[in-house]
Amino acid sequence: MAHSIVNISKLTKKYAATNTIAVNQLDLQIKSETIHGILGPNGAGKSTTINCIANLIEFTSGEINVAGLDIKKNPKEIKSKIGLVPQDIALYQELTAYENLIFFGNLHHISKAILKERIDDSLKRLGLYDKKDQKVKYYSGGMKRRVNLIVALLHKPELLILDEPTVGVDVQSKQVILDFLLDLNKEGMSVLYTSHMMEEAEKICHTVSIVDQGQIIEQGSPDQLKSKYSKSSLEEVFVSLTGRELRD
């Protein structure tokens, strides 16, 4: 039986400036070597939760363990175990894809030969090798997203965290990204991602947590949830639980 890669107990994040509780007493366990989706409407607490897991923001109270380590007590070790793909593209536009990857890889102190091997392999798998020497500013949105993904993988993390990884990309790029995530998972990587794309989540996630107002309101495998609520798609389950009201 797989152990948990992420264990969260009573996670709470309150933003003092706006007096908003973004995450409220949230409990979550994610099994290792699975793909887990955190799904929710705008403002539900998805991005705040993963930013807390990635140790990018301080949380108000609660406990987070990644790969058996308390993230507050072991920040350096946790950093080496997590790869984060942010929603915003975090690349240098004036550099080529290859130069970007060398730069970010060097931050992890990876040896030159190993880094080159990892970069070449990932570029080939994501269909970017032939355009590796082109400046990123000339890339399409889908190409930039794929490079952004490679950056997070250069140090071989145990847990890959993605925040809306396919937003604004063409159908072909989306398919390449999803296939790549499935391959990474088959190779043993644990994946946690947030998305608004229910069809996408249904396709690749072993389990999902539906969050609203900073709390998990339902979780399970897509098939379990469809069966439980007698719905034909995860999107129908999601709408039945979170409602049709617009969230801006």
Please state, for a pLDDT cut of 90, what percent of the chain lies above it.
83
| Whole-angstrom distance, CA of residue 209 vs CA of residue 194 | 10
Model confidence at 167, pLDDT cuts 50, 70, 90, reads confident
The pLDDT value recorded for residue 246 is 56
Residues in the chain: 248
**What are the domain boundaries of the chain?**
4-242
CA distances from 62 to 27, 70, 150, 216, 223 (A): 9, 11, 31, 15, 31
The pLDDT value recorded for residue 248 is 54
Beta-carbon contacts of 115 under 8 Å, excluding residues fewer than 6 positions away, are: 102, 105, 106, 154
Model confidence at 2, pLDDT cuts 50, 70, 90, reads low
| Whole-angstrom distance, CA of residue 198 vs CA of residue 217 | 16
The candidate with the shortest Cα–Cα distance to 93, out of 103, 85, 83, is 103
Task: For domain 4-242, give the fold.
Answer: Rossmann fold (3.40.50)
Beta-carbon contacts of 108 under 8 Å, excluding residues fewer than 6 positions away, are: 80, 154, 155
The pLDDT value recorded for residue 205 is 97
pLDDT, tens only, 212-248? 999 999 999 999 999 999 999 999 999 999 887 655 5
pLDDT, tens only, 61-81? 999 999 999 999 998 899 999
